Structures are given as C-alpha cells and as structure tokens.
Amino acid sequence: MAGCAVAVAEQAGAATIGPDLARPGRALLIVNQKARSGQDQAEAALAALRGAGLEAEAFEMPEGMACAEAVVQGTAPGGFDRVVLGGGDGTLNAAIPGLLRAGLPFGILPLGTANDLARSLGIPLELEGAAQVIATAAARPVDLGEVNGHAFFNVASIGFSAELAEELKSDSKKRFGKLGYAVAALGLLRRARPFSVELLHDGRVERVRTIQVSVGNGKHHGGGMTVAEDARPDDGMLDVYSLEVTHWWQLVALLPWLRRGTQGQWRDVRAFRTTELELRTRRQRPVNTDGELTTHTPAVFRLRPAALRVFAPAREA
C-alpha cells in the first residue's frame, strides 16, 4: 500500500515489554496517510506517542513505497525493538510481509475506517489510549489466516462481501467512512443471488448454495460484523460461516445476529471451526482479505498460529 509516511520514535523513558521486565525501546512508526483519517492525524499520532513517553522523529520516504517495504527498509539499520502502524485494517494487512521479515512485535494506532483488528484485540480506538498500550503492554502472540499464500488478520470471504469490496471504491470510504459501507451494501444487497460452492474441511466435502462464505481469524470484520461471539485472533482456530439464505431480506433479518456473532444459531447459517479449508466454485470468484481483493477461488485456507506478536491489553481468562 502506497502513501505511508514514516517516523522513528525513540522512547525517552522505559516501556513495560513483559512481566517485571522494563528496558528502553526504539520503535519504527509507519503512518498510512491515505487511510481515511491518516493524513489529518499523522501529527496527532506522533503527539500521542510523545504523550505516552515516546520521542518521535519523522523522516521522508520515497513516494509510492509499500508499507511492507517501509517496515523492512526502516528496520534494516537495526536497533529497533517494535514497529508501530498507524492506519486501518488495509494498512495492517499490507504490512504483514514486512512484519514477518522484520521479526519484531508491532503496535497499532487505529486511524482507519473500521479498525476491526484493534477492536478484536481490545485496543482503545482513541490515539492516546492506543499509544499507552504500545508503551506499556506486553507483546502477545497473534495468529494469521492465509488463503492461497495471502495472509490476513481478520476475515477472508467470497460472495457478498467480496463483491462489496469490489464495488466500494476507496474514495467513497474516505468521504463517507462507515456510511460508505452501508450505501454500497444497500444497492448490492437487492442484487445478491446464491451461488454453489464446495467446502472441503476435516475430511468431508459439503456442497451448498450460499450468499457468502467467511473465514475468520479475528473476531470482527466489515466495520461492525462479528465472525463468532467467542472468536479470538489468538485462539489457534479459523471460524467459518456460510450464509445459505435464498432472499436478500433474510440478510436484513440476520443483521442483529451478524453483529453479535450468533448467526450460527440460524437454520440457514452453517458455522464451524477448523484449521484448514478449501473452497471450490464453478467459476472463479474473488476473495476479499481484510477489505482488499487479493486472490480468487479455488481458495485454500490455512492457519498460521502465533505468527506475529502485537502490543495489546492482556486477554481476560
């Protein structure tokens, strides 16, 4: 993803990076200025880090550099012990290859439209609170989902949400935010039709007619939807649901359950947990990973447990 402005932040004090362990830290801060709020809040992000005890120093980077490459090049000199990403779920997804190569824990400053990963991890959505988490919380493991070699934090899906991602242009996301999702979804919803798909998992083959199949690594997606009420991005499982409804108005009736993550209680919703899954369709269908179209069916999903470490509040037992 292009449009990332980079800053290097050196901690003036000490950050808690684990139980009873504190030492000075150096963080690489990458702010996606093309995220909905990124351009206006880049300076606010630096101020929030300073307020949390960080000394931030911005530096220029070549225009058009991807976030993953920014992570790799920015951390190449060494001496850094964390990466801080400012942006939305698309920014975080784009940074995954760089984070894997750098091998450093990362923090999140939620500057995007939906900020689903931040909400799944319990990270405050205001800058000051998120900065405090980065400065004081321990780094905890987080899983990654993977489809056809493309990693994702939150959800990958085919069907309605992938068509919505294709229809929802970045300009409307910037201009309208969550309203952009609603406006585009309303028009698409009335045109949605079930399609055939084969689900291969856990030694079985299920042939279904569906509007959408979603494979979740995290808990939240789509700026307000929930994969499953007990899903977590660190539980070592993929949560899958298939919306096997026949009329668009049934999706409207399902909306409260989709928001709570209890849609699996419906007769027309298939829900299960797994670590590997393959989706096959008669014709190629696009796959939406964290809001971006990255591949197509046939789609092979896998879980990469504890692939990265993130600064987030401790999970409740």
60, 229, 292, 316: the active-site residue: 292
Using CA atoms, how far apart are residues 135 and 52, in angstroms rounded to an integer?
6
Using CA atoms, how far apart are residues 93 and 85, in angstroms rounded to an integer?
11
CA angle 105, 152, 177 (to 5 degrees): 100
Contacts within 8 Å (CB) and 24+ apart, 294-301:
294/147, 294/148, 294/150, 295/147, 295/148, 295/149, 295/150, 297/158, 297/197, 299/147, 299/148, 299/156, 299/158, 300/147, 300/148, 300/276, 301/145, 301/146, 301/147, 301/156, 301/215, 301/238, 301/276, 301/277
Query: Comparing C-alpha atoms, which of 283, 239, 280, 234 is closest to residue 262?
Result: 239
Backbone angles phi, psi at 103, to 5 degrees: 70, 25
What letter does residue 247 receive in the DSSP assignment?
Answer: S
Within 8 A by CB and 6+ apart from 201, the residues are 240, 272, 274, 276, 277, 278
Task: Copy the structure tokens of residue 34.
Answer: 């093309």
Told to judge if 292 belongs to the known catalytic residues of this protein, a careful annotator would answer yes
Question: Do 25 and 81 touch, CB atoms closer than 8 A?
Answer: yes
Pairing of strands 82-87, 26-32: parallel
The catalytic site residues sit at 292
